[in-house]
Amino acid sequence: MEKFVIIGGNRLSGTIRVSGGKNSVLTILPACLLSGGVCTLHDVPKLSDVYVMKNVLESLGAKVDFTGNTMVVDATSVSNVELPDRLTRMMRASNLVMGPLLARFQYVKMAYPGGCSIGSRPMDQHLRGMKTLGAEIKEKHGFIEAKATRLVGSEICLDFPSVGATENILLAATLAEGVTVIRNAAREPEVVDLQNFLNQMGAKIKGAGTDVIRIEGVKKLNSVEYTIIPDRIEAGTFMVMGAITGGEILINNVIPEHIEAVISKLREAGVEINETDEGILVRGGKKRQGVDVKTMPFPGFPTDMQAQMMALMAVSEGTSIVTETIFENRFKHVDELRRMGADIKVEGRVAIIKGVKSLSGAYVETSDLRAGAALVTAGLVADGATVLDKVHLIDRGYENFEQKLRGLGAQILRVNGNGGKDKH
Ligand code: EPZ
């Protein structure tokens, strides 16, 4: 497996352009199935998860061209409504084709997407929503089969503001008969991006970004050309890297409102952050103070930034308490940070971090893409070399990661499994 070798100690400085948002494109690509035509998407990041979603759409009969950062999806000849289980197991977000296939073909069959290292990730809220819209759901032998003579608009109140469930129900409701109202909806910017994309296709949706979304079903949706919003988690990750190395990074192509909770937390920790016309300027400056972090649904502190923040707290002054409220198993990076000398104790969903003077490079493994980003963050300031294994998990969500870091002055190299320098 490919590894990163990182030599710590360099301050990061310079400018980076954030790529298009992974979690936005992973819901907008399934939305392309709703049009009977061709949709063109710009600023699509070259990520392994995006290639998996491309394969999912192609397995359904769509024709997809991905050149540079532009993806053209021709959904005219989509006819298959059964998803190969190897794809649904590879990436949970593949379950987002359920809403569009039910809406367009009134049928879909797929294997349960696998859980992953951060939690079991059930789909009960998704299925509850589909049932409320009139679908009949059968779950057996690890497969979900959903069918409906027609989808009828209805009122749905989610038990939890699930991002995926909000998106799936929104997708299904666009072509349903009548009005659907989703209450306790997720308010993430990716849900707003999806609403904007669908409305450009001719949907009639209001309220994304709030906890009540109203969808008036329409007969048909058209082809559109659209640009994906920037990746707020990539932006936040580079902000933490600028802070931890005491450097100065200008992050452009970022929407500050999408990352306010992280900006506010970093400022509380003593990091200088200025929102300028060119982008967000981060100055790491002096030692940071430990702060308490509690992950919450948007606009609260994002769970996808929890691991990266913990790396920063590991070398900040004082004690920090990190509480993970979204996923039940998202502290796997703690053991690896400990190998590097971090002082962290975990009690259930709470981690107590006592800042240490310095970390030391070590051989570490990542369990998910954000844990991987956190270990790279720690490696940037650790004494000596850090070898990070399983970097293919980082490639799921960070485009040209090591190239962007080298451009900021980091000493990081991708080596292939047997230690040779990779061709990248
Ligand atoms: C999306 O996952 C993101 N993925 C995740 O990003 C992100 O961490 C998560 O939202 C929370 O913000 C994409 O958008 C592709 P949820 P999603 O449904 O939709 C439970 C990353 O690193 N739940 O809001 O799967 C679930 O188990 C990834 O980029 C149910 O119990 O998240 C979890 O504990 C990781 N039943 C919590 O809700 C359901 O039916 C949040 O899940 C659905 C969810």
Indicate the residue among 207, 227, 247 that finishes a domain.
Answer: 227
| Ligand 1 mutation pick, 23, 191, 329, max ligand atoms within 8 A of CB | 23
Q: Does residue 422 fall inside a structural domain?
A: no
Amino acid at residue number 411: Q
Ligand 1 touching residue 125 (CB < 6 A): yes
Residues 219 and 130 in one domain: yes
* CA 71 – CA 51 distance, rounded (Å): 11
Q: End of a domain among 161, 193, 227? A: 227
Partner residues linked to 66 by β-bridges: 71
Q: Is the CB of 122 under 6 A from ligand 1?
A: yes
223/262 same-domain check: no
Which residues constitute the domain of residue 372?
Answer: 3-18+230-415
- The answer as to whether 421 is a domain residue is no
Which pLDDT score is estimated for 85?
85
How many Å apart are CA 414 and CA 409, to the nearest integer? Answer: 15
Reference 209, options 286, 296, 136, 298; nearest CA is 298
| Residue pair 261/306 in contact by the 8 Å Cβ criterion | no
- 12 and 88 housed in the same domain: no
Do residue 284 and residue 201 come from a single domain? no
- Is residue 169 included in any domain, yes or no? yes
Each residue's pLDDT tens digit, 83-97? 988 888 889 999 999
Looking at the CA of residue 92, tell me the nearest atom of ligand 1.
Answer: 25
**Does residue 341 have its Cβ closer than 6 Å to ligand 1?**
no
pLDDT for position 423: 43
Same structural domain for residues 222 and 291?
A: no
Contact at 8 Å (CB) between 305 and 312?
A: no
Residues 236, 342 within the same domain: yes
Nearest CA to ligand 1 atom 13: 23
Please count the structural domains in the chain: 2
12 plus 110 within the same structural domain: no
> Considering 227, 251, 273, which residue would you say is the last residue of a domain?
227
* pLDDT beneath 70: ranges in the chain: 114-116, 418-424
pLDDT, residue 416, reads 87
Residue 90 is assigned to a structural domain of this protein: yes
pLDDT tens digits for 235-253?
Answer: 999 999 999 999 999 999 9
DSSP for 169-232?
HHHHHTTSBSEEEEES----HHHHHHHHHHHHHT-EEE-BTBSEEEEE--S-----EEEPPB-H
User: Taking a C-beta distance cutoff of 8 angstroms, is the pair 87, 59 a contact?
Assistant: yes
CA separation for the pair 152, 179 (Å, rounded): 8
pLDDT of 114 reads 67
Q: What is the pTM of this model?
A: 0.97
On whether both 74 and 201 belong to a single domain, the answer is yes
CB atoms near residue 156 (< 10 Å): 23
- Say how many Å lie between the CA of residue 202 and the centre of ligand 1: 27
For ligand 1, whether the C-beta of 163 sits within 6 Å is: yes
CA-162 nearest atom, ligand 1: 24
Q: Which amino acid is at 172?
A: A
Is the minimum distance from the CB of 124 to ligand 1 under 6 angstroms? yes
Nearest atom in ligand 1 to 128's CA: 40
CA of 98 to the centre of ligand 1 (A): 16
Instruction: Tell me the pLDDT tens digit for each residue of 356-383.
Output: 999 999 999 998 999 999 999 999 999 9
Domain assignment present for 124: yes
Residues 375/314, Cβ–Cβ less than 8 Å: no
3-state secondary structure of 54: helix
- Indicate left, alpha or beta for 134 from its phi (over 0: left) and psi (-120 to 50: alpha): left
Q: What is the CATH number of the domain that holds 177?
A: 3.65.10.10
Q: How far is the CA of 61 from the centre of ligand 1 (A)?
A: 27
Note if 157 is an active site residue: no
User: Would you state the pLDDT for residue 287?
Assistant: 80
Distance 114 CA to ligand 1 centre (A): 13
Same domain, yes or no: 77 and 178:
yes
| Helix residue ranges, H only, 94-140 | 98-105, 124-132
Within this chain, do residues 171 and 91 fall inside the same structural domain, yes or no? yes
The distance between the two most distant Cα atoms of the chain, rounded to a whole number of Å, is 64
User: Measured in angstroms, how far is the CA atom of residue 121 from the centroid of ligand 1?
Assistant: 7
Q: Is 400 left (phi over 0), alpha (psi -120 to 50) or beta?
A: left
CB atoms within 10 A of CB 114: 14
Planar angle of CA 179, 183, 186, nearest 5 degrees: 115
Nearest CA residue ID for atom 20, ligand 1: 121
